[in-house]
Amino acid sequence: MERNLKTDAIFSVCRKYRYALWRSWDESKPYVMIIGLNPSTADETKDDPTITRCINFAKSWGYGGVCVTNLFAYRATVPSDMKASNEPIGTENDAWLYKLAKEAAIIVAAWGNDGSYLNRSGAILGALLNLHCIKM
């Protein structure tokens, strides 16, 4: 990681759920919030490939940081493992999504096709206004 990169994350006590993860490199600029499907292995200090891509997108768009949240807070490397969880959303997930969305300069929906599981994408699309997406 970069030397001047500030990092943080919010987990459940058991650390099976990650509610938010930040990477900040220029605090004079606003941050972008990216909403993915579910968190994987990244934590307060370690990036995974998805977080690296999110950082690169945010930098190329001119933002000073990125906050990564997810429709489902359960940590799993494949969506099928997340879907097998009895409680994939996480008790604090919606509260963090709404709080962080209010503070972000822009919100990007990046959850892909599995976002419709448990109608999560529909619920979030109805609650958060002015979402953007990345055309792949």
22-48 residue pLDDT tens:
999 999 999 999 999 999 999 999 999
pLDDT score of 2: 60
**Spacing of C-alpha 100 from chain mean position:** 10
pLDDT score of 4: 84
Gyration radius from the chain CA atoms: 14
What's the chain's average pLDDT? 95
Say if residues 39 and 75 touch (Cβ distance below 8 Å): yes
With bands split at pLDDT 50, 70 and 90, how would you rate the model's confidence at 130? confident
Q: What is the pTM of this model?
A: 0.95
pLDDT score of 3: 66
For the chain, give every domain's residue range.
6-133
**Spacing of C-alpha 24 from chain mean position:** 14
CA atoms of 8 and 23, how far apart (whole Å):
7
Which top CATH class is 6-133?
alpha beta
123's tokens:
């619920």
